[in-house]
């Protein structure tokens, strides 16, 4: 049987969660600037990288961006050689967006090495049961955020949900 938490405990957790969220945004903005990208371009690249190829429409569905905004995103990332446009063999009018994982890793790996070492050390300091509890929180909180996003975007389909196994950089 679980013990009910006090309002003070819940509020303390909410404050820590908000501070974590804010720190994450600021860190990813700094990483993006160091890599010569905007924060949003950096995060969208993280959504694109796990895919062999995507259409601009796929990216629009995945991100909620308009097709015009996707064109700008692709232009900026292609200019940095982090992805390329490629015509399909069957229909030369259809363009596929192909991520350049090698160039992306060359750009971001030096930035992420120390962060990954420190977070691995932190995670290793917890017991398996504690890690399962933390994982449960993140998994369920992510579902709540996706649901809220979809509701705010007035979408029936959980377009973000299709990409659950994405490595976010």
* pLDDT score recorded for residue 169: 45
Residue 95 in domain = yes
Residue 153 in domain = yes
* pLDDT score recorded for residue 155: 59
Residue 58 in domain = yes
Residue 140 in domain = yes
Q: How far is CA 102 from CA 1, 42, 130, in A?
A: 50, 15, 35
Residue 52 in domain = yes
- The CATH number for 15's domain is 1.10.10.10
Domains contained in the chain, number: 1
Beta bridge partners of 98: 84
Residue 168 in domain = no
- The pair of three-digit structure tokens given for residue 12, joined into one six-digit string: 């303390």
Question: What distance in Å separates the CA atoms of residue 27 and residue 19, rounded to the nearest whole number?
Answer: 12
* pLDDT score recorded for residue 87: 87
Q: Give the helix, strand, coil percentages of the chain, each rounded to 5.
A: 65, 5, 25
Indicate the pTM of the whole model: 0.76
Beta bridge partners of 95: 87
Residue 73 in domain = yes
Residue 1 in domain = no
* pLDDT score recorded for residue 2: 66
Task: Give phi and psi for 88, each to the nearest 5.
Answer: -80, 155
Positions of E strands within the chain: 83-87, 95-99
Task: Give phi and psi for 153, each to the nearest 5.
Answer: -85, 0
Walk along the chain (169 residues) and give the pLDDT tens digit of each residue. 567 888 999 999 999 999 999 999 999 999 999 999 999 999 999 999 999 999 999 999 888 899 899 999 999 999 999 999 998 888 777 899 999 999 999 999 998 999 999 999 999 999 999 999 999 999 999 999 989 988 888 754 444 445 444 444 4
Residues of the domain holding 138:
7-163
* pLDDT score recorded for residue 154: 77
- The pair of three-digit structure tokens given for residue 122, joined into one six-digit string: 């932190």
Query: Is the dihedral angle over the CA atoms 57, 45, 83, 101 positive or is it negative?
Result: negative
């Amino acid at each position: 049987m679980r013990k009910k938490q006090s309002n003070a405990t819940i509020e303390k957790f909410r404050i820590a969660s908000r501070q974590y969220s804010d720190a994450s945004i600021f860190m990813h903005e700094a990483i993006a600037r160091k890599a010569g990208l905007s924060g949003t371009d950096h995060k969208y690249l993280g959504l694109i990288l796990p895919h062999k190829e995507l259409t601009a429409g796929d990216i629009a569905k995945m991100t909620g961006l308009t097709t015009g905004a996707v064109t700008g995103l692709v232009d900026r990332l292609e200019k940095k050689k982090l992805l390329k446009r490629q015509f399909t063999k069957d229909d030369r009018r259809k363009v596929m967006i192909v991520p350049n994982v090698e160039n992306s890793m060359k750009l971001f790996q030096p930035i992420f090495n120390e962060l990954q070492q420190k977070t691995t050390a932190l995670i290793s300091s917890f017991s398996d049961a504690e890690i399962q509890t933390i994982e449960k929180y993140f998994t369920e909180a992510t579902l709540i955020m996706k649901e809220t996003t979809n509701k705010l975007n007035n979408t029936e389909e959980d377009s973000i949900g299709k990409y659950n196994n994405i490595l976010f950089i």
